[in-house]
Amino acid sequence: MTSEKGRTAVFLDRDGTINVEKEYLHRAEEFEFVPGASEAIRLLKEAGFLVVVVTNQSGVARGYYDEAAVHRLHRFVDQELATVGASVDAYYLCPHHPHHGIGPYRTECACRKPLPGMLLSAAADLGIDLSRSWIVGDKAADVEAGLAAGCRTILVRTGYGAAEEHLVPPDVTVCDDIFAAARAIITHLRS
Ligand SMILES: [Mg+2]
Ligand SMILES: [Zn+2]
């Protein structure tokens, strides 16, 4: 969607939201979509949203894998999504950690969720109207990043979501998974 205010986006957390949470996932062989995730992304694209993945990857900071490995994994995800006619418009990653990072990766950055830096960068890069955009994630940090950026927020119960549900403000929408979240967003659009 486009208006004088900019395009609308759905920001998606990656681990635990799009794919099954596996600690420090970076290999394509270990990547497993949450059921319905690729269909959810296709529905959001068909509804006119930009789909932007925003992912904290402290595994880079910790030296478990490098940024190139994250990019390779995302190209694999792109290929998988293409088989169902879905796509992601952009990926933003935070490779930092304030305490456990090695060398330049140990920093109090502005991009690690719950800070909204990745969303703000995407908004500037892609002309996104944050006030009409959404974030979907499985952690309170995703919700907090969305709220800080002025977005609408949905917590999903996959990944860490069921355990984090009590941490989010009571007016935050909670959905069972990313597919239910996509349906809720599209229903909201039409109401
Ligand atoms: Mg997550
Ligand atoms: Zn960062």
Q: How many domains does the chain have?
A: 1
The per-residue pLDDT for range 93-139, each reduced to its tens digit, is 999 999 999 999 999 999 999 999 999 999 999 999 999 999 999 99
**pLDDT recorded at residue 139:** 98
SS3 state at 182: helix
Q: Are 153 and 143 in contact (CB under 8 A)?
A: yes
Is 172 contained in some domain?
A: yes
Q: How confident is the model at residue 167 (pLDDT cuts 50, 70, 90)?
A: very high
How close is the Cα of 191 to the center of ligand 2, in Å? Answer: 36
Q: Are 142 and 113 in contact (CB under 8 A)?
A: yes
Ligand nearest to the CA of 116: 2
Does the pLDDT of residue 42 top 70, yes or no? yes
Average pLDDT in the chain: 96
Does the pLDDT of residue 4 top 80, yes or no? no
Does the pLDDT of residue 2 top 80, yes or no? no
Is 139 contained in some domain?
A: no
Is 173 contained in some domain?
A: yes
Active site residue 15: yes
Q: Are 91 and 74 in contact (CB under 8 A)?
A: yes
Ligand nearest to the CA of 140: 1
Is 180 contained in some domain?
A: yes
**pLDDT recorded at residue 5:** 75
Q: Which are the contacts of 60, defined by CB distance < 8 A and separation ≥ 6?
A: 66, 67, 70, 93, 95, 96, 105
How close is the Cα of 4 to the center of ligand 1, in Å? Answer: 32
Is 142 contained in some domain?
A: no
Whole-number percent of the chain with pLDDT over 90: 95
Does the pLDDT of residue 64 top 60, yes or no? yes
Is 17 contained in some domain?
A: yes
Q: What is the CATH number of the domain that holds 31?
A: 3.40.50.1000
The pTM of the full predicted model, rounded to 2 decimals, is: 0.96
Is 76 contained in some domain?
A: yes
Q: 162 lies in which domain range? A: 6-129+147-190
Q: Are 10 and 185 in contact (CB under 8 A)?
A: yes
Exposure string of 8-30, with b = 16+ CB inside 10 Å and e = fewer, is bbbbbbbbbbbbbbeeebbeeee
Ligand nearest to the CA of 161: 1
How close is the Cα of 37 to the center of ligand 1, in Å? Answer: 13
